Structure 1
Amino acid sequence: MVSIKDFITKQLNLPDSAVETVAAPPPLSPGIPGARVTPRNEHNVSRRQISEGALQVLNGLHRAGFQAYLVGGSVRDLLLGREPKDFDVATDAHPEQVRKLFRRNARLIGRRFILVHVQFGHEIIEVATFRGGANGKANEASERSETGRILADNVYGSLEEDARRRDFTANALYYNIADRSILDFSTGMEDLQAGRLRVIGDPEQRYREDPVRMLRAVRFAAKLGFIMDTAAQAPIAACRERLQEVPSARLFEETLKLFLNGNAQTSFEHLRQQGLFAALFPQVDVLLDHAEYSAARTLLQGALGGTDTRVRDGKSVTPAFLFAALLWPALQEQCRLLEQQGKPATVALQQAASDVLQECVGRVSVPRRFALPMREIWDLQARFMRRGGRRPHALLAHPRFRAAFDFLSLRSQSGEISATLVEWWEQFQTADHDGRRILIERARLEETGQEAALGPLPATSRRRPRRRRRRGNRPGQGGADDSHDDGQTDSD
């Protein structure tokens, strides 16, 4: 077994002398009462790594006589030598007491379990009261569905009960602001060392209480590079259809977390291995293993890989583009079926888009603010094929051109369409007026097999600024040359 010293030294790249040797504790089953305490000199978490806002909340609660702990992913990430995305605090203070303590900085949120958001500038610290009612105990304040899913859960309890209510052992570690120690009520430290994702309590019961925990298991396994232990994997096959009980808007948010965390490709593979992708996107999953949709799967993997690259580079990612790629195989299949029924291609595309998005409503519902851009990305794919007359200029001026062109490039990379079409549009974007005219003529002749008649594209194809004409040369003449206007906006 790896020692605490070796684990911390490896994560932080410290010399052996920098960390005191501490023997690994004996195994302890998840959920056993009583915490293992790791004092400050035996772990690597420092207050300097904790945000100023989180420290203000922790110290404010402590000075007021309440217990205050940094908890969850932030403690886990700090122990792993990662930078936490945010900081959560657990306390024995009730929500109203927290709000009164931080006054105008605090507001109550949540319905299923009331939380407090304490804001300092752009940072929001989420403060939760210790939760009780662990191990499925009935309580008048806890409301469950017939299948065991928790609907309302404003049940307060002790620190030990709160630890047992957490989902995974790696997320049930508490940093105590009072003495800067770390408390572990299960096997969190041991599982961090082993790179193991373990559910606290009975996994099947925990999944039935909240089916989204299955998606969280996949997300953490992909994000941390951990292996889900056998007990965590075993009940998924029996519980995955429970995801249909979860509001589709919540599933959309969880799907974004899966695919926008910089590990989209790994998350996708884990979802498919566990049968969870089929539970979220059944109309897509059924097509991905068919030979005729191998290009669509390659396109999807390319989109996920591109998303990972952009996230890691700190660039923005639009969910509309990601979901356009996720649902593309289903859209193609529905278009094919409608065209077989005699529908014109344009009509088939419009109806197929509506059908695919409507089918998502019962699973992962795409909000309208993303559904509309998705449809535009899909609609513009057919317009890339029409390169005659003024149509290329009009398409280039479309506000969704860049996203649609990037999607076209993915289709080319997957082998779905010819690379020459993408090359033509790349040249058209940078060509000057004469170059564009030749490109349009070349596209026309290409369809009739006469492309060679034009010869090579002129070397000077970059756009040149227009020269403005002087005013007043002739009576009634405008000041600027408006003899032609290609309607173009600069490509971004």
Structure 2
Amino acid sequence: MKRVINLCKKVLGTKARAKKSTAQVSSTQQPSVLTRDQHPVSRQFISPNALKVLYRLNKGGYDAYLVGGGVRDILLGLEPKDFDIATNATPEQIKALFRNCRLIGRRFRLAHIVFGREIIEVATFRGHHDSASEKEKSCKKTSKQSEHGMLLRDNIYGSIEEDAQRRDFTINALYYSSKDFKVYDFANGVKDIEERSIRLIGDPETRYREDPVRMLRAIRFATKLDMHISDETKAPIKELAPLMANIPPARMFEEFLKMFISGKAVANYHELRAYNLFVFFFPAVEQALTSEIADYPYLTDFIELALANTDKRINNDQRVTPAFLFAAMLWYPLQNYIKRINETANMPAQDAFFAALNEVMPEQQRSIAIPKRFQAVIKDIWILQDKLSRREGKRAFKCFEHPKFRAGYDFLLLRAEIEKDNSALTELANWWTDFQNVSNDARAQMVKSVRGSGTKRRTPRKRRKPAAKKAPQE
């Protein structure tokens, strides 16, 4: 891989110096072509399954290219993980070639070629709306835009040149052909890779209106690839941020995973807040972050610690669950709801918790559609915070056997690290740490010591003996 990085730097430098084209990326232009000896893209870095798809499409008489992230990452000297393919074959023609193909999507019709756990995504070249045939234009299902300019449906097909212009960023408009081993650069993407610049193809405002999620993608690529967003690309983001309100909650969940469960959660969090985009993920949290600090003294530090902890686990190849981050984001807003309920109504702690839960979760669901399997884990983590504080008798052992004990315990550790002025919370976290590292006999002794130093055990109430039956009077 070091050899690839060195070769890439050399090629990018010489290629950029030789390039003198002044054409704008938004206009039609002939591609800059890198021959086999001018780039480091090689079949040894490409998934064998992706190569199978490329070869079969070519054999079937179609043009096919590895496009986007796979080419970009190899040019950057990174190990590619996505192997997307673009072709002039229609989805139906692709399906006819592959028995393991399924067609998906309404907004963008795509073909997924399934190889066990690996899925190779194949897309037909996209065309411009004004270049659609009369037949395509008459079909209402071919293309549709919202009143804000957002593409709701887009199945107009075209040439590779049109497809390149329809791509979002210049660094993603790079096409590798397994037929002639050349890289075709339609939008000065090689130059932007050299300058480490994230740049939209075309007019930024128009492109963001077509798909507001591109604002998130600009941030994600910048943090993921250690690049910067070009001035013209970032200029309209704050102004157009409200367009994110039109994104369906189900899609926002997918974007949440990409932004926060990818090893760059801390960096993405700060960028989202800087561009006024975080509010569309967590409106209640954003409101809390901008409120009086006295109401949420721990919130900022707690969120950043939870995000940093998640990044560390991902980068160490440890398992993470999105539920943990959701629980961390919403913990203090939940506590504030409970506090307000207790101020206005006198109800048991458990009832107050569930009343607050029924306020917080539906509100969050309007922004991000959290699947039920994660909602259950979020609730378990929160309930365990109370259960972990109740260690008398058999409670500690029952809590220790809870399926989500580890997640609840890790959450408790984060709370104790942030709320350092809460000595009882620190003692509780230390107690559970020790409890896991001793024998069962020692655990029993620990529980006894808690019972002895805690509240006095209630003496069972004696049952009153039934009164003796009086003998019937004669």
- TM-score under structure 1 length normalisation: 0.84
1:297 pairs with 2:290: no
Counterparts of 2:32 and 2:85, CA distance in 1:
19
Counterparts of 1:10 and 1:213, CA distance in 2:
33
Counterparts of 1:167 and 1:22, CA distance in 2:
23
Q: How has the CA–CA distance of structure 1 residues 446 and 193 changed in structure 2, closer, same or farther, with 3 Å as cutoff?
A: farther
Report the secondary structure of 1:291's partner residue.
coil
Picking from 43, 46, 49, the partner of 2:45 is 49
Counterparts of 1:135 and 1:383, CA distance in 2:
62
Partner residue, 1:454: none
Q: How has the CA–CA distance of structure 1 residues 135 and 186 changed in structure 2, closer, same or farther, with 3 Å as cutoff?
A: farther
Picking from 62, 65, 77, the partner of 1:69 is 65
Counterparts of 2:128 and 2:204, CA distance in 1:
17
5+ residue gaps, structure 2, are 457-474
Tell me the CA shift for residue 275 of structure 1: 0.8
Q: How has the CA–CA distance of structure 1 residues 21 and 133 changed in structure 2, closer, same or farther, with 3 Å as cutoff?
A: closer
**Contact 1:88/1:125 (<8 A) preserved:** yes
Counterparts of 1:298 and 1:373, CA distance in 2:
23
Q: What one-letter code is carried by the residue in structure 1 that aligns with 2:300?
A: R
**Contact 1:133/1:139 (<8 A) preserved:** no
Partner residue, 2:95: 99
Partner residue, 1:320: 323
Picking from 413, 427, 430, the partner of 2:434 is 427
Tell me the CA shift for residue 321 of structure 1: 1.0
Partner residue, 1:453: none
Q: What one-letter code is carried by the residue in structure 2 that aligns with 1:129?
A: T
Counterparts of 1:113 and 1:15, CA distance in 2:
33
Report the secondary structure of 1:327's partner residue.
helix
**Contact 2:16/2:190 (<8 A) preserved:** no
Tell me the CA shift for residue 376 of structure 1: 0.9
RMSD: 2.5
Partner residue, 2:390: 386
Counterparts of 2:211 and 2:73, CA distance in 1:
24
Partner residue, 2:407: 403
* Larger mean Cα displacement after TM superposition, 108-117 or 402-411: 108-117
Tell me the CA shift for residue 189 of structure 1: 0.9
Partner residue, 2:34: 38
Partner residue, 1:455: none
* Larger mean Cα displacement after TM superposition, 299-308 or 395-404: 299-308
Counterparts of 1:397 and 1:136, CA distance in 2:
63
1:241 pairs with 2:236: no
* Larger mean Cα displacement after TM superposition, 398-407 or 130-139: 130-139
* Larger mean Cα displacement after TM superposition, 435-444 or 188-197: 435-444
Aligned pairs, number: 441
Matches within 5 A, 1:306-345: 306-342=309-345, 343-345=347-349
Counterparts of 1:14 and 1:131, CA distance in 2:
32
Counterparts of 1:367 and 1:332, CA distance in 2:
23
Tell me the CA shift for residue 242 of structure 1: 1.7
* Larger mean Cα displacement after TM superposition, 343-352 or 130-139: 130-139
Q: What one-letter code is carried by the residue in structure 2 that aligns with 1:291?
A: I
Tell me the CA shift for residue 15 of structure 1: 11
**Contact 1:264/1:304 (<8 A) preserved:** yes
Q: What does the per-residue CA deviation read over 1:32-78, in whole Å, with 9 as the maximum and x for residues that have no partner?
A: 22211111211111111111111111111112221111001111111
**Contact 2:67/2:86 (<8 A) preserved:** yes
Partner residue, 1:413: 417
Counterparts of 1:266 and 1:299, CA distance in 2:
15
1:59 pairs with 2:55: yes
Counterparts of 2:155 and 2:257, CA distance in 1:
27
Tell me the CA shift for residue 271 of structure 1: 0.7
Matches within 5 A, 1:160-309: 160-289=161-290, 290-292=292-294, 293-309=296-312
Partner residue, 1:353: 357
Matches within 5 A, 1:92-171: 92-102=88-98, 104-133=99-128, 139-140=137-138, 141-171=142-172
Tell me the CA shift for residue 13 of structure 1: 4.2
Tell me the CA shift for residue 377 of structure 1: 0.4
- TM-score under structure 2 length normalisation: 0.87
Tell me the CA shift for residue 122 of structure 1: 2.7
Tell me the CA shift for residue 412 of structure 1: 1.0
Partner residue, 2:446: 439
Tell me the CA shift for residue 120 of structure 1: 2.5
Report the secondary structure of 2:298's partner residue.
helix
Tell me the CA shift for residue 118 of structure 1: 1.2
Q: What does the per-residue CA deviation read over 1:283-311, in whole Å, with 9 as the maximum and x for residues that have no partner?
A: 10122254343422222212211211222
Counterparts of 1:128 and 1:19, CA distance in 2:
28
Tell me the CA shift for residue 217 of structure 1: 1.3
**Contact 1:40/1:181 (<8 A) preserved:** yes
5+ residue gaps, structure 1, are 1-7, 450-492
**Contact 1:296/1:414 (<8 A) preserved:** no
Q: How has the CA–CA distance of structure 1 residues 64 and 319 changed in structure 2, closer, same or farther, with 3 Å as cutoff?
A: same
Picking from 357, 372, 378, the partner of 1:374 is 378
1:29 pairs with 2:38: no
Q: What does the per-residue CA deviation read over 1:147-173, in whole Å, with 9 as the maximum and x for residues that have no partner?
A: 111111111011111111111111111
Matches within 5 A, 1:450-469: none
Counterparts of 1:363 and 1:18, CA distance in 2:
45
Partner residue, 1:12: 5
Q: What one-letter code is carried by the residue in structure 2 that aligns with 1:70?
A: L
Counterparts of 1:136 and 1:301, CA distance in 2:
48
**Contact 2:302/2:418 (<8 A) preserved:** yes
Tell me the CA shift for residue 269 of structure 1: 0.9
Tell me the CA shift for residue 280 of structure 1: 1.9
Q: How has the CA–CA distance of structure 1 residues 135 and 172 changed in structure 2, closer, same or farther, with 3 Å as cutoff?
A: farther
**Contact 2:204/2:233 (<8 A) preserved:** yes
* Larger mean Cα displacement after TM superposition, 140-149 or 130-139: 130-139
